[in-house]
Structure 1
Amino acid sequence: MNKRSKEIIEEAISQGKWTWLEIDSNSNSLYLEFENLKLSSRPIFDNSYRGELAIRFGQNIYLSLFYNEKKDLSFLHFKEDYLNHIIDSKEFITEKFPYFYQEFYQDVKKFKFQDYDYLDEIMKEYDYNQDLVDKRSENKNYDFLLCFECEKIAIVVGGDFINCFNDFESLNDDEIKRVSNNWVFYYLDYWNKKGTDKEYAEDLLCEEFPLK
């Protein structure tokens, strides 16, 4: 993934929603999906698009949550006794759930790749952290770092391989640019048709930055 692709994804997801987490310990992989993004795999002709993107981390995977109060982890829908157990024991969830999947809805407010300064900020800002997955080798290193924040938590993800998917198809750098351009063309059309008999239903993503 080149620099421009990372910038496109950072900008899109920083205003999006984190909607599910999937961990497969057997394949050493971790998936995160985001929606309500300024991205589309196809040309947009109405604003019923989902704007989704999934990111897969593979090999040497690591996932940690940073929080200030235990209730901030409630979006994972763990039973209270199990949540208390992993917090007290620092046990990884893969020890109980080799495969884990959960849906939720978390607003994302900041999203960065390979930004170790941002990681330092997160570590200072939150009182606690819980490593949910750690498949790293003994040197504890990984090639790709992702950090992002939602309303009350921060998430740090690592792995040696990273892939992006849209409609279950892997996206290369050219395709990431294409899905971004599809949304930009729609945005321009949205505002060109505003106030006419062909205008789209209100789209808050477009309304955020009116075309002048």
Structure 2
Amino acid sequence: MNNRSKEIIEEAISQGKWVWLEIDGNSNSLYLEFENLKLSSQTIFDNSYRGELAIRFGQNIYLALFFNKKDDLGFLRFKDDYLDQLLSSNEYVTEKYPYFYEEFSKKVVKFKFQDYDYLNEIIKKYDLKKVLVDKRNENGNYDFLLSFECEDMVIAVGGDYINCFNDFEALDDDEIKRVSNNWMMYYLDYWNKKGTDKEYEKDVLCEEFPLK
């Protein structure tokens, strides 16, 4: 993934929502999906598009949450006794659930790749940390870092391999540029038709930055 692809994804997800988490301990991989992004795999004809992107991490996977109170982890829907057990121990989710999947909706505040300074700065706002997954090798390193902040927590994800998917199709650098351009063409058309009899229904993503 080149730097331009990272910039496109960072900008898109920083205004989106984190909507599901999938952990597969057996295959040493985890997935995160985001929606409400300024990305589209298809030409947009109305504002019912999902704007989704899934990111897969593989090998040496790591997932940590930084938060302030137990209730902040309610979106994972663990039973209270199991959550208490997790938080009072060094146990990982994969020890009880080799495969874990949950859907939710959390607004993303900011999203960054390979930025340890950003991660070290934002975690200072949070008192608690829970490592949900740690399948790193002996040296504890991984090649790719993803970190992002929601309203009530910070998420740090690591792994040696990273892939992006849209409609479950892998996206290379050219495809990432294309899905971004698809949305931009829609954005321009949205504002060109604004105030005419062909205008789109209100789209809050487009309305954030009016075309001048």
Contact 2:123–2:154 under 8 Å retained in 1: no
1:37 maps to which residue? 37
Within 5 A, what are the aligned runs for 1:56-71? 56-71=56-71
CA RMSD of aligned residues (A): 0.5
The amino acid that maps onto 2:160 is: D
Alignment correspondent of 1:198: 198
Distance of 1:196 and 1:188 partners within structure 2 = 14
* Deviation for aligned residue 1:178: 0.1
Task: Give the Cα separation in 1 of the matches to 2:124 and 2:154.
Answer: 11
Distance 1:153 1:39 in 2: 25
* Structure 1: 4+ residue segments shifted above 4 A: none
The SS at the match of 1:124 is helix
- The answer on whether the counterparts of 1:66 and 1:122 sit within 8 Å (CA) in structure 2 is no
Consecutive unaligned residues in structure 2, runs of 5 or more: none
Q: What amino acid is the match of 1:79?
A: K
1:89 to partner: Cα distance: 1.0
TM (norm. structure 1) is: 0.99
Structure 2: distance between partners of 1:90 and 1:202: 48
Which amino acid counterpart does residue 110 of structure 2 have in structure 1? K
Aligned to 2:54: 54
Is the contact between residue 58 and residue 159 of structure 1 (CA under 8 Å) also seen in structure 2? yes
- Provide the residue aligned with 2:141 in structure 1: 141
Instruction: Report the alpha carbon displacement of residue 123 of structure 1 after superposing the two structures with TM.
Output: 3.0
Other-structure match for 2:122: 122
The Cα shift of 1:140 comes to 0.4
1:90 positional shift: 2.1
Gaps of 5+ in 1: none
DSSP 3-state at the match of 2:124:
helix
The structural deviation recorded for 1:117 is 0.3
Post-superposition Cα deviations, 1:38-86, rounded to whole Å, max 9, x if no partner, equal 0000010111000000000000000000001111111100000000000
Aligned residues: 212
Residue 187 of structure 1 corresponds to 187
The CA distance in 1 between the partners of 2:120 and 2:31, in whole Å, is 24
Within 2, Cα distance between the matches of 1:49 and 1:166? Answer: 12
Confirm whether residue 18 of structure 1 aligns to residue 18 of structure 2: yes
Once the 2 structures are TM-superposed, how far is the Cα of residue 125 of structure 1 from its aligned partner?
Answer: 1.9
Q: 1:101 aligns to what?
A: 101
